[in-house]
Structure 1
Amino acid sequence: MMYPFREGDTFATFRNVVDSVSNEIKALDNEYVLKASETELEEYFTDKAIIKPLVLHSDQQYIKNQTGTQIDVSHDFHRAVFPGERAVVRGTKIDIAIPFDGDPMLWRVRASTWSSGGYPDIEVKGGEIILSVSFPDDSANPGQLKGEINRNIKSLEDAVGYLKKDVQNHNNSVPNTVKQALKRKRELAQATTGAVAALGIPVKRADASPTFTIPAKRRTKPTKKPTVETGSYQPEPVLDEKEYQHILEIIKSMSLVIERNPASFASLDEESIRDHFLLQLNGHYEGGATGETFNASGKTDILIREENKNVFIAECKFWRGQKVFNEAVGQLLGYLTWRDSKCALMIFNRTKDSNAVRQKMHEAMESLPEHRKTVFHHADGDSRYILVKESEPGKEIIVTTQLYDIPSDK
C-alpha cells in the first residue's frame, strides 16, 4: 500500500488509539476489574496505548528491485516535443528499501510540525519502506539520480523527526489516561455490584486520632490481560496508604535510636532488635479488646491481623547474603494473603558498605518472577515494589525494603 503523509491526521490518529483502549476498559467485566491486579491492568492497557516511535535506518538502504518502465517526457523542455503531444521513452524504475523500527501506522500521518517541502509516496511492507525512483535510459545521470534519492530520504528523516515529539507527548499522557479510565471503571463496578472495597479495622492511634479505616484507593511488556482467581468477588481489607506510611516512618525513626545507643544493639540478635521496633510501634497505636495491635509471630515478624489474616507484616533479618534475603522475601509471600497486602522487609546490616547491600537487595527484588513494578528505589534509602504471585492472580503485595546499620560487637 502506498502511504503518503497526510496533513492533520496526527492528533486524530492518536486519539483513536486512546479511544480504542478506553472503550476496551469500559467493556471489561465488573467482577474481573475488581479481582484483577491494578498494577497489571495499568501495565497491560498502557502498553496497548503506547505508540512506538519510528526509527529510519537510512544507512541500511539497498536496491530491492530494478525493472523497465515507460517514462513520460512530454514536459521535458530538453526534448523536441510539440505542445500537446505526449512523448514516452524507455526508462528504469528502482525500488530502494530502507528498514525501520516503530509503528507502521505512523507512516500514514503527518506531524503537527512539518516542513513545506513535501514528502514522497512510499510503500510500507515487512518492516521496510520502499522508495521508488524512475529515470529515462537515454539520459541517465548517476549524480542527479543520487541527489534525488538523498533528498527524498532526507524528507522522510525529517518527517520521522517531526513525528517523534508528537509520539513522545502522546506516550507521556498515556499512563495517567489509562489510570483514570481504570479508576472510573473500578468505581462503576463497585457501585454496580454493591461491593464495598474498604472495610474498617479496629485500630486507632494512641493520640486518639480517628478510627483506622481502610479506603478503596490505595516491560517485559504484557502480552495478555492479567488473570484473576475464579469465584465471585469478595471485598477485603486494604491498609490505608497514609497509615502504611505512618507505620514505616515510626519504624524508620528507630534508626536514630540505634545511632544514639550503638552499644545497646551491638550484641542483640534479630528477635531482640525486633522487640525494640515492636515496642516503638505499640507506643503509637493501641489495640481494642484483643490487646496490642502489633504482635510478634515466630522470631522475626511484626504484624497486624484481621479475621485471622495478615494485613501488615514486617520481616526482620540480618543481611547474610542474597540467598538469605531471597528466603526472607519468600516468607513474606507465604504470609500475605489479602488482595492488597502491605509489608516491610527490614534488613539489619553489620557490613560497612550499606549502598552495595541496598543495590543487591534491589537487584534481588526486580529479579523475582512475582515482580510487577518498582514504585521507587533510592540507592541510599528505602525502596518499594509491587509483587503478584502466580498462585494468587490479582492480589498485589506491596513490599517496602529498609536497611538498618547495626554496630558489631566485634
Structure 2
Amino acid sequence: MKMDDDLLFYPGGNLDDGLRSTTQAMVELLQNWDPDNLLKTPVEDVIERLLDNGSVRCPTLLVDQAWMPEPTEVNQDFVNFGRHYTRRVTRLVLVVPFDGEKIVFTLRANRWSSNPPRVLRLADHELHLVIDGPPDNPVQVKEAFDEQIEKIEQHLSWSREQIEQHNQQVQAELPAMVAKRRDQLLATRNLQAEIGYPIRRRADADTFSVPIHRRTVRPVQQRPANPRASFKPEPAMNDEDYNAALRVLRNQRNALERTPSLAAKLKEEEIRDLLLVGLNAQFEGDVGGELFNGEGKTDILVRVDDRNIFIGECKVWAGPKTMDEALGQLFRYLVWRDTKAAILLFIRRKDVTAVIEKAIAKIEEHPNHKRSRPRHGDHEQFEFTMHAQDDPERDIHLALIPFVLRSTTSSSA
C-alpha cells in the first residue's frame, strides 16, 4: 500500500499485521540459517541476531533537538461567500528528529483515533511539522506546534504499548526456539553418523557436552556406528555442571574468608590445592579418578581428549597487570568452542571494591570481550562472554570470583 506522506498512523495498515510479519520473518531466518553455520555460531550470538530482526524499535521523538529552517511562503486556497480565492501566506516548519523505525508511523495500533495527526513530511529520521499563516504571537505559534507534538506522542504511546508486548514475547520465546532448532540439526547429524557410511564434514562443525554429574563423571563421547565415519563432535562442559563447579568454588571462598587467620598463612598454590580437594569431593571422573587436576602453580583443569574444557586461573592481585597475565594464559589454553573458565582472584588488600572494579575493567577492555552478564551480588561472582583468540565465533564463558583474603600487613594499591 502506498504511504501517504502527510497522514500518520493509518495508511500502511495495522500494527498487529506488521508485528506478525516481523515475527514470521525472524522464524524464517532461523529455519533458513545454514545448518553448519548455526551450529558453529555461539547460541547467544544467534539469539542476539534473531532478537535484532524480530524486535521492533518504537520511534522516540527527540523534541529537545527540534529545529526550524528559514520561513517560506506558499499559496493558500480559501473560500469566502462561495467564491474561491488564493492568497500568499507564511509557512513555518518545525523539524523534529526521531529514533526508531519509520514504518511505525504508517501503521495503526489497536487503539486509534478517527482524526490521526498529519505532518508536512515523514522522512527517514525526521518529522516535518507545519503551520501556514501563523499568528503574530510567538507563544501561540509554539503552542500550536506543541499541540501537534502532543497528538503524535499520544498515538506513539498506543503503538509503544503494543510493540513492547511483542518484544517481550519474542525475547521470552527465542531461547527455546533456537535450542529446538539446534537440537533438530544435531539429532540429524547423529542419525547420519549412526547409519555407518563415511561422512565428509569439517572438524569444527559441532559441540557436545561432557556429561559431568555429581559424584561420578564419565566423559562419554558420541561415536559413529561405523568406525570409518569421521563425525566426532567436540567435548564441552555443559552449563549446569559449570555452574555447579562455580558454586563449589564460591563456597570454598566463603569458608576461607571466614577463617582469615588461616587464609593469611596460605600461599597461592596451597589455596589452589584446597580448592581441588573441594571440587573433587563433589565430582569424580572415569573409574572414580579425580576430575579436576592441578597443573603448574596455579591452574585447575578439566581435560578431555587432551583438550582443556575448563580452566581455573588462581591469581594474587598485584595490580592491573595481574589480569593481563591471567587472560593471556586463558587464551593460550582455551582454544575450543564452548569452553568454560574462571579467574580466582586472591585480594590481600584493603580497597577490595576498587580492586574488583579494576579487574572487571581489564576484562571488559580486552579485545576478546563480547558481553558482560548481570552481576551476582556485590563481591559474589562476575560473568563474561569472551571469544577465542582469532575466532569471534568460539565463545569462552568466563567467571571472575574474588577471594577477599586480607593479611595482617594488607595495604591499599
TM range (shorter): 0.7 to 0.9
> Do 1:91 and 1:134's aligned partners in 2 also have CA atoms closer than 8 Å?
no
Question: What is the CA–CA distance in structure 1 between the aligned matches of 2:72 and 2:382, rounded to whole Å?
Answer: 59
In the other structure, the counterpart of 1:28 is 33
Moved more, 50-59 or 350-359: 50-59
- Shift, 1:286, TM fit: 2.9
Question: What is the CA–CA distance in structure 2 between the aligned matches of 1:166 and 1:58, rounded to whole Å?
Answer: 23
User: Is 1:166 aligned with 2:162?
Assistant: yes
Check 1:255–1:180 CA distance in 2 against 1; reply closer, same or farther (3 A cut).
closer
Task: Describe the SS at the equivalent of 2:393.
Answer: coil
Cα deviation code 1:246-273 (max 9, x no counterpart): 2122222223442454333323221121
Cα deviation code 1:283-317 (max 9, x no counterpart): 22333359422211111001111000011111100
Task: Describe the SS at the equivalent of 2:391.
Answer: coil
Question: What is the CA–CA distance in structure 2 between the aligned matches of 1:145 and 1:349, rounded to whole Å?
Answer: 64
> Do 2:75 and 2:87's aligned partners in 1 also have CA atoms closer than 8 Å?
yes
In the other structure, the counterpart of 1:219 is none
Among candidates 198, 207, 216, match of residue 208 of structure 2: 198
> Do 2:207 and 2:338's aligned partners in 1 also have CA atoms closer than 8 Å?
no
Check 1:339–1:141 CA distance in 2 against 1; reply closer, same or farther (3 A cut).
closer
> Do 1:31 and 1:233's aligned partners in 2 also have CA atoms closer than 8 Å?
no
Task: Describe the SS at the equivalent of 1:87.
Answer: strand
Check 1:187–1:64 CA distance in 2 against 1; reply closer, same or farther (3 A cut).
farther
What stretches of structure 2 of length at least 5 have no aligned partner? 194-205, 223-229
In the other structure, the counterpart of 1:62 is 68
What stretches of structure 1 of length at least 5 have no aligned partner? 74-78, 216-231
Check 1:256–1:380 CA distance in 2 against 1; reply closer, same or farther (3 A cut).
closer
In the other structure, the counterpart of 1:229 is none
> Do 2:78 and 2:84's aligned partners in 1 also have CA atoms closer than 8 Å?
yes
In the other structure, the counterpart of 2:7 is 4
User: Is 1:382 aligned with 2:372?
Assistant: no
> Do 2:47 and 2:178's aligned partners in 1 also have CA atoms closer than 8 Å?
yes
Among candidates 57, 60, 70, match of residue 52 of structure 1: 57
Amino acid in the other structure paired with 2:5 = M
In the superposition, the TM-score normalised over structure 1's length comes to 0.81
Q: How do 1:194-273 residues align onto structure 2 when only pairs under 5 Å count?
A: 194=190, 197-198=207-208, 200=210, 205-206=214-215, 235-273=233-271
> Do 1:113 and 1:162's aligned partners in 2 also have CA atoms closer than 8 Å?
yes
> Do 1:258 and 1:265's aligned partners in 2 also have CA atoms closer than 8 Å?
yes
> Do 1:214 and 1:239's aligned partners in 2 also have CA atoms closer than 8 Å?
no
Structure number with the bigger relative contact order (C-alpha 8 A, sep ≥ 6) is: 1
In the other structure, the counterpart of 1:189 is 185
In the other structure, the counterpart of 1:80 is 81
Amino acid in the other structure paired with 2:328 = G
Question: What is the CA–CA distance in structure 2 between the aligned matches of 1:274 and 1:2, rounded to whole Å?
Answer: 69
In the other structure, the counterpart of 1:218 is none
- Shift, 1:372, TM fit: 1.8
In the other structure, the counterpart of 1:221 is none
In the superposition, the TM-score normalised over structure 2's length comes to 0.81
Check 1:43–1:233 CA distance in 2 against 1; reply closer, same or farther (3 A cut).
farther
Cα deviation code 1:352-408 (max 9, x no counterpart): 232222222222222222222223323221111111135134221111111112242
> Do 1:199 and 1:213's aligned partners in 2 also have CA atoms closer than 8 Å?
no
Check 1:205–1:128 CA distance in 2 against 1; reply closer, same or farther (3 A cut).
closer
Task: Describe the SS at the equivalent of 2:291.
Answer: coil
Check 1:181–1:214 CA distance in 2 against 1; reply closer, same or farther (3 A cut).
farther
> Do 1:198 and 1:237's aligned partners in 2 also have CA atoms closer than 8 Å?
yes
In the other structure, the counterpart of 1:94 is 91
Check 1:34–1:197 CA distance in 2 against 1; reply closer, same or farther (3 A cut).
same
Aligned residues: 378
Amino acid in the other structure paired with 2:88 = G
Task: Describe the SS at the equivalent of 1:339.
Answer: coil
Question: What is the CA–CA distance in structure 2 between the aligned matches of 1:141 and 1:409, rounded to whole Å?
Answer: 78
Task: Describe the SS at the equivalent of 1:236.
Answer: coil
Moved more, 290-299 or 379-388: 290-299
Cα deviation code 1:3-26 (max 9, x no counterpart): 523456222222222222221221
Q: How do 1:227-376 residues align onto structure 2 when only pairs under 5 Å count?
A: 235-288=233-286, 291-376=289-374
- Shift, 1:122, TM fit: 4.2
